[in-house]
Amino acid sequence: MSGILVAVIGIIVFALGYRYYSRFVADKIFRLDPNYVTPAHKYEDGVDFVPTNKFVLWGHHFSSVAGAAPIVGPAIAVYWGWVPAFLWVILGTVFAAGVHDFGTLVLSVRNKGQSVGTLAHRLIGQRAKVLFLFIILILVLMVNAVFAWVIANLFISYPASVVPIFIQIPLAVWIGFAVYKRKKKMLIPSLFALAVMYITAVVASKVDFLKIDLVQYMGGEGGDGLFGLGAVSTAFFIWIIILMVYVYIASTLPVWKLLQPRDFINSHQLVVGLAILYLGLLFTNPEITAPATNVDTDTSWFPLLFITIACGAISGFHGLVSSGTSSKQLNKETDARLVGYFGAVGEGVLALIAIIAVVTFFPSKEEFLATYSSFAASSGSGLGVFVEGASRLATGLMIPPEVATTIVSIIIISFAATSLDTSVRLMRYIIAELGVEYKMPALSKTHVATSIAVVASAALVLLPEGPKGFGSGGYLLWPLFGTSNQLLAGISLLLISIWLKRQGRNYMVTLIPMIFVLFMTLIAMFQQVVFEWSWFGSSSNTLLFIFGAIIFVFAVWIILTAFTTLTKNMNDSNIK
Amino acid sequence: MLERMKKLLDFYEEVLSMPHRTEIARELRDQDDLFLLLLYSEMIGIPNPVYYYTLELYPYMIEQFHDWHLRMGMEKSPMSGIRCC
């Protein structure tokens, strides 16, 4: 089957979903009112609450939610065949993610622009706050540890990407200075910086001298490293230490000096990446070689498929962005349809091309099955296959393969690095907040909190032996990421359902995806905690069992409390 | 055509700068708050050696002061010495 045909079918479904289903939800369920005074107008303060043009707001929303996750998830999930992944991405986007992102936006707009966290806290109670902080702390710790491994792994696999990535740092500092101190516009300097990065990528992929290949320096894969670790492990160790030092500095510097200018440069990469991949698809017209469904698997697709593809189908983090920043800037209530629903569609389009890039890469079905031989193997090589597959699509635009590989790896490293330094910063804020909560003022000091965040992440990466060898300790907790994230999405859908019920409207549009998502998540959690990680499970793991069991119990508790709220008569309501 | 291109670039620039505008506005607002604190410090019991001079700034600051106490959730001016509303 042709890759173009799959892309066309997917895009037609997205278009129909946006044109008809989102209109139905907007008019009949949420009943958007163009005359409603949105929080952006009511509380306009020029800082958080600013009425913004809907297309600009869509751009902001889309670039905030799109990152490495809609690529990584689908690249792994094609293990069960491309049809299940494709169906979950398109149907999940149209019926679950679109309604979720759109609904959290409308719910927040109707409640003074408050975030889902605040609304859940008010609904479920005071103790929920500590639970939420705990879940978010585990989530960001996992992101730090896993993304550090992902970046180190890409640096080792694609050594030509090292110099372009590191050249970005002085360029970003220069842009920060030009934009904030010299009051220059940021578009031209950031495009210039991107051009410099890509030119460096072209040169580095042609000139061996510019490839910083630590493994080769130590005598190849069989070479001796430091402390008797072997060359590859030593390379991981060095890259992870460098990354940890970098995130420490990046997350303590004022944001305008490094983080924001890096974000400007990276946000172009999303546009560049999508353009290269879709144009490349059009010019190369590749055939899909991966099997439509793969029944001979060691891990069942049910319920794991729905956890593996989170961003790209439905993801709880989108609700945090929708209700956190986007809702405070919505000019008219009717704009919510474009910003929320179409934002989710944008993410779906990214996930769709990630699937196509992976399933068209292999010359034959046998080679696909050899690489995707087990679920563990597909988790390990999914991202690498995407890099190769995406660069093959890029060759359709006359980009030489080695240059294309370097550019695609740069795009992924940039996304992952932005997530990494943001999540270290987030972890610092959470530690500081816990310090205030438990009256330990020392924890709220910037350097104390950052040190704890960085040391804990580094310890998780380096101390335990992870499933992918030395340096992949983050993957020990990673199986919890998908479930915690989906749990957040389920709770947000539950809140929207409660709100719709109180308004006396049909709440099936959010209740059905909510039941689906929560059912899959709880089944997956239960299976993993009891049948896999417990002491009599198939792969006993105390660490995962403890964390998994805590999250599972909290999840059940939250859902039961929330269901009681949903079913009881709600005259005295907190949520209007 | 050129005009459209320019419009498109302006739009793109706006998308790019939007999340960062908030950050800068917040920093500016914090600085303004600090300035207000210095200006009105005498009234909340912090001795201010240049109080005599800052007095002259009051007429220029009154609108900003009004915005500040509204933002802080106080409908009326909290200080008896300053009546802005």
pLDDT tier, A54 (very low <50, low <70, confident <90, very high otherwise): very high
Report the alpha-carbon angle A257-B10-A177, nearest 5.
Answer: 15
* C-alpha dihedral sign at B25, B30, B36, B38: negative
**Residue A159 and residue A135: Cα distance in Å, rounded?**
35
Identify which of A6-15, A174-183, A472-481, A518-527 has the greatest average pLDDT. A6-15
In the predicted structure, residue A126 carries a pLDDT above the cut 70: no
How many whole angstroms separate alpha carbon A358 and alpha carbon A382? 8
Amino acid letter, residue A516: F
Arithmetic mean of pLDDT, A149-178: 90
Q: Per-residue pLDDT tens for A545-558? A: 888 888 888 778 87
Q: Is B30 exposed, middle or buried (0-12, 13-18, 19+ CB in 10 A)?
A: exposed
Determine the Cα–Cα distance for residues A501 and A96; give it in Å rounded to an integer: 18
CB atoms A255 and B23 under 8 Å: yes
**Residue A262 above 60 pLDDT?**
yes
Partners of A287 in beta bridges: A2
Per-residue pLDDT reduced to its tens digit, A63-106? 888 877 888 889 999 999 999 999 999 999 999 999 999 999 99
Burial A23-62 (b: 16+ CB within 10 A, else e): eebbeebbebeeeeebbbeeeeeebbbbbbebebbbbbbb
- Three-state SS at A336: helix
Q: Are A475 and A149 in contact (CB under 8 A)?
A: yes
Work out the average pLDDT over A290-315: 88
Q: CB distance B14–A260 less than 8 Å?
A: no
Mean pLDDT: which of A133-147, A187-201, A329-343 is highest? A329-343
Q: What is the pLDDT of residue A572?
A: 46
Task: Please write down the long-range contacts of A465-470, taking CB distance under 8 Å and 24 or more positions apart.
Answer: A466/A149, A467/A376, A468/A149, A468/A380, A469/A232, A469/A233, A469/A236, A470/A229, A470/A232, A470/A233, A470/A236, A470/A237
Give the CA count within 13 Å in the CB-facing half-sphere of A280: 27
Q: What is the pLDDT of residue A243?
A: 94
A52 phi/psi in degrees, rounded to 5:
-130, 145
Chain B residues lying within 8 Å of A59, measured CB to CB:
12, 15, 18
Interchain CB distance below 8 Å, B18 and A187: no
As a whole number, mean pLDDT of residues B17-24 equals 79
* ipTM, interface predicted TM-score of the complex: 0.71
- For A377-431, write each residue's pLDDT tens digit: 888 788 889 999 999 999 989 889 989 999 999 988 988 888 788 788 878 888 8
Cβ-Cβ contacts under 8 Å, A325 against chain B? 19, 22
**B 55-84 residues with CB below 8 A of A?**
71
**A186/B23 CB distance under 8 A:** no
Residues of A in contact with B29 (CB under 8 A): 46-47
Cα–Cα dist A423/A406, whole Å: 25
DSSP category for residue A208: G
Instruction: Summarize pLDDT for A423-447 with one digit per residue, the tens.
Output: 888 788 888 877 877 888 888 888 9
Largest Cα–Cα distance in chain A? 73
> Model confidence at A213, in pLDDT bands (50, 70, 90)?
confident
List CB contacts (< 8 A) between B69 and chain A: none
Contact yes or no for B15 and A59 at CB 8 A: yes
- Distance in angstroms (rounded) separating the CA atoms of residues A341 and A548: 32
- CA-closest candidate to residue A315, choices A306, A328, A324, A325: A306
Percent of chain B with pLDDT over 70: 99
A83-92, A464-473, A505-514: segment of lowest average pLDDT:
A464-473
Q: Which two tokens stand for residue B39?
A: 């200006």
